[in-house]
Structure 1
Amino acid sequence: MPRLKRVLVVTASVSAVLAVLLGSGALWLYTSADVSTTGDRFSRELAIPPLAKPTVEADGTKVFDLTMQSGQKEFTAGKKTRTWGFNGDHLGPTLRAQRGDKVKVRIRNTLGEASTVHWHGMHLPAKMDGGPHQMVASGATWSPRWTVDQPAASLWYHPHPHGRTEKHVQRGLAGMFLLDDDASNRLALPREYGINDLPVMVQDVTFDGAELDFDRGFLRDTGFLGERTMVNGTLNPYRTVSDELVRLRLLNASTARIYDFGFSDDRSFTMVATDGGLLEKPLRQDRVKLSPGERAEIVVRMKPGERTELRSFPHGGYGSAWEKRLAGGDDSLSVLQLRAANTLRPSPALPSELATLEVPDGSDSVRERYFGLTTPGINGREMKMDRVDLTVTRGTAETWVVRNEHGTPHNFHVHDVQFRVLEVNGKEPPPQLRGAKDTVYVAPNTTVKLAMRFDGPADPNSPYMYHCHLLYHEDLGMMGQFVVVEKGQKAGTVGARDAHAGH
């Protein structure tokens, strides 16, 4: 079984960190590691989450059913791990809808505690967002509904209970939500789900012997860091493909680890989409860095009979060497092996133009706001369920300046909207950040400038969230909330009384 090399550190230089972690008994620190040299690599066929089949109401609404449930799964033969999942023992089905569709999701919670289901990256009314104000009590149901009104994109869904999100996601409550639109349907892109269009949900995990351990983690100032990766709940995964071009919808579904994806033979690939949808033009890359919650769609070319390995490589974007080790930036991780069949189906050339971005460029922003990221708060304040931090006017655009004010890695996610990254440290952002985004990595002592528009609907009493998506930081209170109002309207009253309501 592949494991990262670890060293136990007990010195005066880390006494401050140890003081925070006394409850765990010891602090484990990763050294640089290569977990690719083991005989059981790529021994299991990659699981593909099933496409959920909706029913259709009289008015055309597509109705999906999700049940949050506990179960057991054998990640390794003969060893069962207690897990959570949607409609099964671990993870959830892939939901799919078209722009303009009316959708409804009937959610039933059969867990022993309350949770939520948040539609990460989705533009929808705040009451349907699935944040910490839309808790679904144990034994209760909740049925949000909305009309899909945004471009084709790879989104996902996961819990968002205040103070417990990391554990709920770790245990397996996550799934993808794919959106299509007429423009993307006309493009010559691989689109056969599970054949040449593959969901790739990457999570890092830790084992206790041969059993998965969701309760043991390391380096609690960044959150949980696992010893190895799994994809779609599959350890040591491979996938046999039969097309020349294969589309990988990459999702960093880990709670803290930052990945720098590339291929073991250093082949280049074509990046076609970011969090919120297609880029304007295809982008040739050999690496793509994703922090927790970020997505990217890439297309890789295969030759008959060959094999290549998707990996996460050591990467930068940290402060000191100490901080790099804190987030696993020294690690080299096996992710997924692609195996090409001996005969491949020809694929058409990728289009030279993809989409027109629907995110603002900052020219019509009505105001600029500053967000300083310092664990455990934003602008020096921890999240409070009964406090509205920001009020924004429906139909207006704003520029948000986000700065990581110290050495710990962070990122920044905004509910409901997609934004454009205008600048990174005062300079034009790298090409892979020039699409529609809802989550962005903010390296230590780095400033990003974001432009976004708030199209509503207005609801002064129901907030959206913004927060660090390293989920341990979110759970500590590195989060704020905002409401969208009509011009001249004031924020209403929100409160913790909503946090455990049954639906």
Structure 2
Amino acid sequence: MSDTTGVDRRKFLQLAGLSALSAVAPSNWLYAASNARYAKDASPDFHPNVEIEITAVATEAPILPGKPTRVWKYEGKLLSGPEGTIAQLPGTHLGAVFFLERGQKVRFYFKNDLPEANIIHWHGLHVPQVMDGHPMYDVPAGSGYVYEFQVDNPAGTYMYHAHTHEKTGQQVYKGLAGLIIVSDPDEKTLNLPRGEFDQPIVLQDRSFDADNQLVYVQNMRERHMGFLGDEMIVNGKRHFVLPVATRPYRLRVLNGSNSRLYKLGWDDGTPLTVIATDGHLLEKPVTRQFVMLAPGERIELWADFSGRKVGTEIVLKSLPFSGAMPGHGEGGMMGGMNHGDGKAPQGGGMMGMMNHGDGKAPQGGGMMGMMNHGDGKAP
């Protein structure tokens, strides 16, 4: 992307802003890998600042009305480190969000409580090869793996997900993915929205059967060309609405779909202001009428609702487009992408319809809506 604003990143953010537990670690953990050469205890020479237990579990989630959906999930528990290192997106089966700082030494005690092998890949993070979640290190059911690495990435939005041999797409589809938010000293000096005004947005498309259970690849074409769901899910919810105040927000958007490509844009034609892509703050913010987002890709948007009338609605949606890219197996994400017919799934555009005051999203809603409440605070 090229710059269209004429101001550098720091000045832009400053000007825009004017408008605006310790515990004993589990013992006897082993690196469980397909190749026994890599099996060993947690390194006595590695001294972590943060220790986290992460467990892959089978559970249920109320995604659709009626019967809950069987899903898989990464659960996180802070063993030692700063308070606020782990958060959970409310009411969702998506994996725990990890908030890390550049330079921290992190140890993850991974437990696989699923009925099949699993391994975690730290998407976008610079980590040693044996810590990167290569499928050769698949962890058998009931076993564990100790990850140790120093966070050596700049501030940005990253992700982690299942990376199991020949099962990556299906396991991610069932729910085995989550966000990693990295901060650093330079980013902390910038006047960016923080706390409740810094919002993660995870976009996924899913298909369900009549019993509200997930439906995945059903034929050879979908396996090789990519699987496209027919329901939009945002932050683990079918109808997602984000109430906002009259002030700037930082929206961290992840395309968590297996195969679908999104063409993001505001429904009223307001340009998107992009401040970061794939874990890197841009030198200068750029504005575009739309942004294309591929599976696994992340962008950060500066969304300023300051000048909007209280009670107005704005929808971030997937705009129509044409064109396709062939997939490479595994049903799409983490094994090929299919961008299909360029249309959003049935049920409406990507960030869908707004909540109109009755506490329910309208029928046909899609991904995410924003409502301005005008009190300077998020409800």
**TM-score with structure 2 setting the length:** 0.71
Per-residue deviation, 1:226:
0.5
CA contact (8 A) 1:69 1:84 kept: yes
* C-alpha contact (below 8 Å) 2:157/2:179 kept by paired residues: yes
Task: Report the 3-state secondary structure (helix = DSSP H, G, I; strand = E; otherwise coil) of the residue aligned with 2:149.
Answer: strand
Question: One-letter code of the match for 2:214?
Answer: D
Is residue 293 of structure 1 aligned with residue 281 of structure 2?
no
Q: Deviations over 1:374-430 (max 9, x none)?
A: xxxxxxxxxxxxxxxxxxxxxxxxxxxxxxxxxxxxxxxxxxxxxxxxxxxxxxxxx
1:86–1:92 CA contact under 8 A, matched in 2: yes
CA contact (8 A) 2:157 2:182 kept: yes
Equivalent position of 1:120 in the other structure: 123
Write the distance in 2 (CA, Å) between the matches of 1:162 and 1:325.
20
Following superposition, the deviation at residue 305 of structure 1 comes to: 2.4
* 2:341 equivalent to 1:312: no
Partner of residue 61 from structure 2, selected from 73, 82, 88: 73
Asked which structure has the greater CA Rg, the reply is 1
Using the alignment, how far apart are the partners of 2:120 and 2:197 within structure 1? Answer: 29
Q: Is the 8 A contact 2:258 2:295 kept in 1?
A: yes
Amino acid in structure 2 at the alignment position of 1:197: D
Change (3 A) 1:105 1:225: same
Residue 60 (structure 1) shift:
5.0
Query: Hey, what's the Cα distance between the residues in 2 that align with 1:117 and 1:261?
Result: 29
2:94 match: 91
Query: Given that residues 205 and 212 in structure 1 are in contact (C-alpha distance below 8 angstroms), is that contact kept between their aligned partners in structure 2?
Result: no
Q: Which of residues 261, 266, 270 in structure 2 aligns to 1:263?
A: 266
Using a 3 Å threshold, how does the CA distance of structure 1 residues 54 and 103 change in structure 2: closer, same or farther? Answer: farther
Deviations 1:264-298 (A, max 9, x none): 11111210000031001011122111111111000
Paired position in structure 1 for 2:89: none
User: What is the aligned residue count?
Assistant: 289
Residue range with higher mean Cα deviation, 251-260 or 220-229:
220-229
> Matches of 2:259 and 2:22 in 1, distance apart?
33
Deviations 1:313-361 (A, max 9, x none): 11245379xxx99613133433200111132369xxxxxxxxxxxxxxx
Structure 1 unmatched runs, 5+: 1-52, 347-503
Residue 244 (structure 1) shift: 1.0
Q: 1:99 to 1:54 in 2, by over 3 A?
A: farther
Q: 1:319 to 1:258 in 2, by over 3 A?
A: closer
- Partners of 2:60 and 2:48 lie apart in 1 by 36
SS of structure 2 residue aligned to 1:127: helix
Structure 2 runs not aligned, ≥5 long? 1-20, 26-45, 77-91, 327-336, 353-366
Contact kept? 1:206, 1:217, Cα under 8 Å: no
Q: SS state of the match for residue 130, structure 2?
A: helix
What SS is found at the alignment partner of 1:344? coil
**Partner in structure 2 of residue 176 of structure 1:** 179
**Residue 37 (structure 1) aligns with:** none
Task: Pick closer, same or farther for the CA change 1:54–1:145 going to 2, 3 Å.
Answer: farther
- Equivalence map 1:43-192=2 (5 Å): 59-87=47-75, 90-192=93-195
State the match for 2:376 in structure 1. Answer: 344
What amino acid does structure 2 have at the position aligned with 1:240?
A: P
Per the alignment, do residues 285 and 56 of structure 1 end up closer, same or farther by CA in structure 2, a change over 3 Å counting?
Answer: farther
- Between 57-66 and 219-228, the greater mean CA deviation after superposition: 57-66
The one-letter amino acid paired with 1:301 is D
For the pair 1:198 / 2:204, whether they are aligned, the reply is no
**Counterparts in 2 of 1:280 and 1:85: CA distance versus 1, 3 Å:** same
For the Cα contact (< 8 Å) 1:81–1:211, is it kept in 2?
A: yes
Deviations 1:406-456 (CA, angstroms, capped at 9, x unpaired): xxxxxxxxxxxxxxxxxxxxxxxxxxxxxxxxxxxxxxxxxxxxxxxxxxx
Question: Deviation digits for residues 126-163 of structure 1, max 9, x if unmatched?
Answer: 00001202211110111101111121110000001121
TM-score by length of 1: 0.54
Give the Å deviation of 1:182.
Answer: 0.4
RMSD: 2.5
* In 1, Cα distance between equivalents of 2:283 and 2:98: 25
Q: Call closer, same or farther: CA 1:326–1:175 in 2, change over 3 Å.
A: closer
Q: Secondary structure at the match of 1:265?
A: coil
Distance 1:131 1:66 in 2: 17
Letter in 1 for 2:375: T
